[in-house]
A and B are shown apart, each in its own frame.
Chain A
């Protein structure tokens, strides 16, 4: 492990990679602060930039920097103007915005910055401990187990989607898998489902799809409803960034607990930062003493620190399945996985053996990025927050232009742009109907790997028998079925009970 840290230090501290971290954090913070634009759209817009760098570790460092920069910026906008750009910072605005209304915006931003910093750093330490251990276990896995693991990952994403959403998330995953089979795969040398269209021969472009799923609907929503970008109004002047010793003493145990809890939740596929931040907030409110409990929601520093540290730790945690198993747990890590594949890196347990510099430099760059964000944000916040005043009608053509360019640069084909617009419209419609879009992209990216592993185990065992012959595969597949069926059954039982209760009344 010390060797690895050394490799990571020497890679991450090279001049160009330091610039990548700083640049990524800055871009992420700036764009993330614009309400309505979450980390996923920003990363989708940044992929073409990262891919054209050519060096996988630099690209991953840049994208990771953008990722946590965006989360940082998102919490700033939810504190200052009560307009969370992403679901994972909604919990931040519960207590952050009331604090800003009381004229303590500076203090709230400081608490958020410290909590994010601590959450991210503790998460990075845990990642450093967990990931190598998990990777060494994962090296024992066979293609059959991989297939089963991916099925578990995909169904967990559906299962964590929330009530009334499980079937929708599952359907989106399946649509993603369907789209992955379009084109000529490596396995059969035979075009499938191209409908005779030559442009589909190589399948759908990953960048096009990512842009259409995440960047375009955001832009369209901003056009449709301008109030999304400036709801709430100004939270007051930012002054007096200092926090008292008492408050520091109050938030320290909160940050410690929530960093670990957030990290563990982040590791689970599909759970991610949103659940981590809401759960962190709820847990802290429940275990707080009575008199402090009343403060939650009215500007409690504890209630601000809890979701912030959980959120950042969960983001770091979501790198564990990505780097060790090559299975993305969230939309953001799915985009990172796609970028890695585009750069000829195959993420998985072999990554640590074959290209340790990528793995370790990303981890080291997380520390660097966190420190940079802290340094950058504490003194500069009042100035950076000015970006919130950017007029919206300059922002939207900017997003659209970058999505168009990103799709064009990937395939150099104008038809790709038409596909982008078409998929963008479909994605917007799906968002209207509350269909989650991240599972679609995850399914699309995992689709070919899933089929490869499935086919390999089918060939090795000459049929479907591998499921019965390998107990671990069977166990994992059973787990997948339980994950999907259980929430649905429970919801039905609850509804039945409600009906009975209503009848007996």
Chain B
């Protein structure tokens, strides 16, 4: 079975469980006065669930004509192992590690690690000091541009920003880097 049908099967399962929730479970907690309302919280999800189930079934059963030729530009999934799958998985794992480390290890350390390891990947081994140096240089570039973009104004103008922005500025972990 081709990958697109497997995906249709997964989406069918998702939409069935979604529909089950909408049809049988959501209305139980509805207050009585809301039952007089023509529209319930579950009305719209019910419609979508039915439509999604029908559409995914249509793909699963192959009602539609297959496109004549696949896009040459796209990656052929059946030859996935011929590509740099290891690198891709490694980068994804790196991103997950970054997400998990962000709070405990702090922004500076985890970002530095992420960039250095990420940039060193592909060019050379992790242990090549030259690649790490290049990664560091590159990280300075990125963090500089991140500051320029994410912070709308120079630090002196914080007082002019709205309350929302001030909060964002204070929450924004890069300001520690600015002080550095």
Establish whether residues B7 and A435, one from each chain, have CB atoms under 8 Å apart when the complex forms: yes
Residues in B with CB closer than 8 Å to A171 are: 8, 11, 52, 55-56, 59
Known A54-B152, A412-B171; contact A458-B39, beta-carbon cutoff 8 A = yes
Establish whether residues A53 and B152, one from each chain, have CB atoms under 8 Å apart when the complex forms: yes
- Cβ of A391 < 8 Å from any Cβ of B? yes
Residues in B with CB closer than 8 Å to A455 are: 39, 43-44
Residues in A with CB closer than 8 Å to B152 are: 52-54
- Cβ of A401 < 8 Å from any Cβ of B? yes
Q: A150-203: which have CB < 8 Å to B?
A: 162-168, 170-171, 174-175, 177-178, 181, 185, 187-188, 190, 192-193
Q: Can you name the residue of chain A whose Cβ is closest to the Cβ of B119? A: A397
Interface digits, B67-110 against A, CB 8 Å rule (1 contact, 0 not)?
A: 11011011101001001110110011011101110110000000
Q: Closest approach, in angstroms, between the C-beta of A484 and any C-beta of chain B?
A: 10
Interface centre among A188, A228, A424 (most CB of B within 10 A): A188
Residues in A with CB closer than 8 Å to B115 are: 397, 401
Residues in A with CB closer than 8 Å to B178 are: none
Known A224-B75, A393-B122; contact A405-B59, beta-carbon cutoff 8 A = no
Known A393-B122, A432-B3; contact A174-B99, beta-carbon cutoff 8 A = no
Q: Closest approach, in angstroms, between the C-beta of B109 and any C-beta of chain A?
A: 14
Known A167-B59, A168-B4, A178-B18; contact A400-B95, beta-carbon cutoff 8 A = yes
Residues in A with CB closer than 8 Å to B138 are: 394, 397-398
Q: A457-505: which have CB < 8 Å to B?
A: 458-459, 462-463, 488, 491-492, 494-495
Q: Can you name the residue of chain A whose Cβ is closest to the Cβ of B67? A: A164
Residues in A with CB closer than 8 Å to B171 are: 412
Identify which of A97-105, A250-258, A276-284, A413-421 touches chain B.
A413-421
- Cβ of B35 < 8 Å from any Cβ of A? no
Establish whether residues A167 and B91, one from each chain, have CB atoms under 8 Å apart when the complex forms: no
B contacts with A: majority SS: helix
- Cβ of A223 < 8 Å from any Cβ of B? yes
Q: B22-62: which have CB < 8 Å to A?
A: 26, 29, 37-39, 41, 43-45, 48-49, 51-52, 55-56, 58-59
A449 to B58 Cα, complex, angstroms? 27
A487 to B121 Cα, complex, angstroms? 46
- Cβ of B162 < 8 Å from any Cβ of A? yes
Which of A187, A397, A494 is the one whose CB lies under 8 Å from B118?
A397
- Cβ of A454 < 8 Å from any Cβ of B? yes
Q: Closest approach, in angstroms, between the C-beta of A499 and any C-beta of chain B?
A: 11
- Cβ of A392 < 8 Å from any Cβ of B? yes
Establish whether residues A435 and B4, one from each chain, have CB atoms under 8 Å apart when the complex forms: yes
- Cβ of A408 < 8 Å from any Cβ of B? yes
Q: Can you name the residue of chain A whose Cβ is closest to the Cβ of B19? A: A178
Q: Closest approach, in angstroms, between the C-beta of A410 and any C-beta of chain B?
A: 10
Establish whether residues A433 and B7, one from each chain, have CB atoms under 8 Å apart when the complex forms: yes
Known A433-B4, A435-B7; contact A165-B99, beta-carbon cutoff 8 A = no
- Cβ of B150 < 8 Å from any Cβ of A? yes
Establish whether residues A400 and B142, one from each chain, have CB atoms under 8 Å apart when the complex forms: no
Known A171-B59, A181-B44; contact A224-B84, beta-carbon cutoff 8 A = yes
Residues in B with CB closer than 8 Å to A52 are: 149-152, 165, 168
A81 to B99 Cα, complex, angstroms? 37
Residues in A with CB closer than 8 Å to B142 are: 398, 401
- Cβ of B172 < 8 Å from any Cβ of A? yes
Interface digits, B155-173 against A, CB 8 Å rule (1 contact, 0 not)?
A: 0000001101100100110
Q: Closest approach, in angstroms, between the C-beta of A402 and any C-beta of chain B?
A: 8
Residues in B with CB closer than 8 Å to A398 are: 138, 142
Establish whether residues B119 and A193, one from each chain, have CB atoms under 8 Å apart when the complex forms: no
Residues in A with CB closer than 8 Å to B39 are: 454-455, 458-459
Residues in B with CB closer than 8 Å to A219 are: 91
Q: Can you name the residue of chain A whose Cβ is closest to the Cβ of B8? A: A171
Q: Can you name the residue of chain A whose Cβ is closest to the Cβ of B3? A: A433
Establish whether residues A168 and B114, one from each chain, have CB atoms under 8 Å apart when the complex forms: no
Known A178-B45, A397-B115; contact A408-B38, beta-carbon cutoff 8 A = no
A425 to B88 Cα, complex, angstroms? 10
A225 to B149 Cα, complex, angstroms? 30
Residues in B with CB closer than 8 Å to A168 are: 4, 59
Interface digits, B115-141 against A, CB 8 Å rule (1 contact, 0 not)?
A: 100110111000000000000001000
Q: Can you name the residue of chain B whose Cβ is closest to the Cβ of A191? A: B41
Interface centre among A162, A165, A181 (most CB of B within 10 A): A181
- Cβ of B2 < 8 Å from any Cβ of A? yes
Which of A220, A408, A409 is the one whose CB lies under 8 Å from B88?
A220
Interface centre among A188, A393, A402 (most CB of B within 10 A): A393
Which of A166, A181, A391, A459 is the one whose CB lies under 8 Å from B48?
A181
Residues in A with CB closer than 8 Å to B3 are: 429, 432-433
Known A164-B65, A401-B111; contact A224-B83, beta-carbon cutoff 8 A = yes
A391 to B137 Cα, complex, angstroms? 14
Q: Could you list 10 further interchain pairs (A-B, Cβ under 8 angstroms) beyond the known A433-B3, A463-B38?
A: A54-B165, A220-B92, A225-B75, A394-B119, A396-B118, A400-B114, A409-B172, A417-B95, A421-B95, A434-B4
7 contacts across the A-B interface (CB closer than 8 A): A54-B162, A167-B55, A219-B91, A223-B87, A417-B95, A418-B96, A434-B67
Smallest CB-CB A-B distances: 9 pairs: A397-B118, A417-B99, A164-B67, A393-B122, A433-B4, A174-B52, A224-B83, A432-B77, A49-B149
